[in-house]
Structure 1
C-alpha cells in the first residue's frame, strides 16, 4: 500500500511539472509575445500584464491566490496546497525558464498552437490533482449561490474578459483569443478524458436476447437490463409489449462496432448514446487512476 501511494505521489508530481512546463511554453513562446489571451484567471493575468506591463509571473500568482483560498473550502485543503505550489512553480517557470521567443507571428498558428500547448499543460496539471487556473473554483463557489450552472458562470466571466480585450486591444485580438480559449478547452478535455472517454449505449429491440448474448460473449461488455414496454404508436396507442431495455458502457472507439453488431441482428433496433464523464468499477476496462 505504501509503495502504491508513493507511485501515485510521484505520478502526480510528474504530471504537474509537465503541465507547468507546457503552460510556460504556451505563454512565453506564443501568447504573451503576440498579445493573445486565454480564458479564466490566466486570461485575466494576461490582460492585466498587457495593460499595465506588470511582471506576468507575479500577476498570475497574485490573481490566483483568492481562488486558491476558495479551493481550500470548496474542494479540500490538500487540493489548495497542491494548487498553490503549482501556481508558484508556474510563476518561477515564467520568470527563469528560457523558452524560444515568439516562435511565430502568424495569428492563426498562435491561436491554435498556443491553445493546444496551454490545454495540454492545464490538463496534465488536473490529472496531477491540482489546478493552474482558479476559474472553476470561482464558478463552483458562485454556483452554490446563484441559479446558474458552472459552465454558464465560466462562460460569463470569459465573455467579460474578451469584451475588455476587444475594447482595449481591438476586436481582431479578442477574436483570435477566443479561438485560443476554445482550442485550449478542447485539448484539456482530450488530455483528461483521453481516447477512452466512455459512452453509455441504450438498446431497445425485439431481438434483445440475442443482442444481450452477443454484447457479453463477443464484445466482453457488462450489461444492465431494464424492464419496459414498447409500442404506444399513434395508430395503436393501447397496444404495447413488454421488452428488455439493454444498457451498456463502452469506449467511444467501440461505439461503431457495437452499432454494427446490433444492426446485423435487428436493423430496426432503437439505439441511443450518451456521454459519460467518469465511470469506474464493474467490468469496465481498466484505465488510469487520473
Structure 2
C-alpha cells in the first residue's frame, strides 16, 4: 500500500510519462524514421535493428525487447518503485511508438537536416517532461539516473555521452550521413532535456560584498523570502575585513534581489553564478523561529548557547521579539 505522498508521486510520474512519451514518439515517427536517421539510447539501437531487418518487427516491439536487460539495473540500484516506473514507462513508450507509426507516411519534412533538428527538439522535450515528473521510459534512462546519483552529472549530458557511442555504431552499420545528422539531433535533445528538467527551478548562487551586511541580510529574508550566510573575508588590496553574504535564489528571484540590493547599497559588489545542485532545507519562512529550533537541535551544548544568543540578537534587530528597552516602556 503506497503512502499518500508516494501515491501522488506515482500519479504525477505516470502523467508525465504519458505526455512525454507521446511527444517523444511524435519526434521519432514524424521526423527521425522518415529520413532513416538515428536516435540515442535504446531507441537508437532499436532504429538500427529496425533499418537492418527492414521492419520485420515493429519499432516499439524492438524497443521493448531491448529494454528487458535494463530492468535489472533499475531494480538493483534504484529500488522497486523505480523498477515499477521503468516497466510502466517502457510499456507506454513502446505502445505509443507503435500507435504513432502512421506519422512516418505523412512526410512532415522533406529535408533530413530539418527532420533531425525537429526530431531532436521533440525527443528532448518529451524526455525532459518525463524526467521532470520523476519518471523514466526505460532504455538508458535508469543507467543515466544511476550515474547521476553517483557522480552528480546532468542527465542530458550523460545521455549525450552514451549516444555518441551508439552513433559510431550507426555510422558503421547505416551510413555516416545519417550519423552526422543525428549528431545534431542528439545534441539538441540533450540541451532541451536539461533545460526542461531545470526549467524555472534553476538555482543561482549570489555572493554580495556590502558595507551594510545586516541590512542586506534582512532585505533578503524579508523581501525575497530566502536565508543567507555571512562569510568573513578580507580585501586583498586594503587588507580590511569584509563580510560576504552568500545566498541561493531561484532564477526568477535574481532580478528582484539585484534591484533590491542596488537600491539599498549602490556600491555593493555582486557575483552571480549557476548552482548545479542545491541540497538542504530552504529558508522560505519570514520568521527565524524555525531556524532557532534547527540550530539548537544540531549544535552541541556550548555552541547552542552561542547560537541562541546570536539568533536572539538577529530577532531583536528584525523586531520579531521586543527588546529590553521596549519591554520597560510597556
- The answer to whether the superposition gives a TM-score over 0.5 is yes
Q: Distance in 2 between matches of 1:28 and 1:176?
A: 16
> SS in structure 2 opposite 1:100?
helix
Q: Are the structure 2 counterparts of residues 99 and 191 from structure 1 closer, same or farther at C-alpha, using a change threshold of 3 Å?
A: farther
Is the CA contact (8 Å cut-off) linking 1:136 and 1:150 kept in structure 2? no
The corresponding residue for 1:213 is 218
Higher strand proportion, which one?
1
The corresponding residue for 1:81 is 84
Is the CA contact (8 Å cut-off) linking 1:22 and 1:118 kept in structure 2? yes
Q: Distance in 1 between matches of 2:3 and 2:272?
A: 44
Does residue 48 of structure 2 align to residue 47 of structure 1?
A: yes
Q: Are the structure 2 counterparts of residues 76 and 98 from structure 1 closer, same or farther at C-alpha, using a change threshold of 3 Å?
A: same
Q: Distance in 1 between matches of 2:191 and 2:26?
A: 18
Does residue 236 of structure 2 align to residue 232 of structure 1?
A: yes
1:162-241 correspondence runs (5 A): 162-218=167-223, 220-233=224-237, 239-241=239-241
**Superposition deviation, residue 72 in structure 1:** 0.6
Q: Distance in 1 between matches of 2:103 and 2:39?
A: 20
Does residue 94 of structure 2 align to residue 91 of structure 1?
A: yes
Considering Cα pairs closer than 8 Å and 6+ residues apart, tell me whether 1 or 2 has the greater RCO: 1
Does residue 163 of structure 2 align to residue 158 of structure 1?
A: yes
Q: Are the structure 2 counterparts of residues 51 and 72 from structure 1 closer, same or farther at C-alpha, using a change threshold of 3 Å?
A: same
Is the CA contact (8 Å cut-off) linking 1:15 and 1:124 kept in structure 2? yes
Question: Which entry has the higher C-alpha Rg, 1 or 2?
Answer: 2
Unaligned 5+ runs, structure 2: 286-330
> SS in structure 2 opposite 1:232?
coil
Q: Distance in 2 between matches of 1:14 and 1:136?
A: 17
Supply the RMSD in Å over aligned alpha carbons: 3.2
Is the CA contact (8 Å cut-off) linking 1:197 and 1:252 kept in structure 2? yes
> SS in structure 2 opposite 1:80?
helix
Is the CA contact (8 Å cut-off) linking 1:29 and 1:100 kept in structure 2? yes
Is the CA contact (8 Å cut-off) linking 1:140 and 1:150 kept in structure 2? no
The corresponding residue for 1:275 is 275
Q: What is the aligned length?
A: 278
Q: Distance in 2 between matches of 1:172 and 1:90?
A: 27
TM-score (norm 2): 0.72
The corresponding residue for 2:248 is 249
Is the CA contact (8 Å cut-off) linking 2:90 and 2:139 kept in structure 1? no
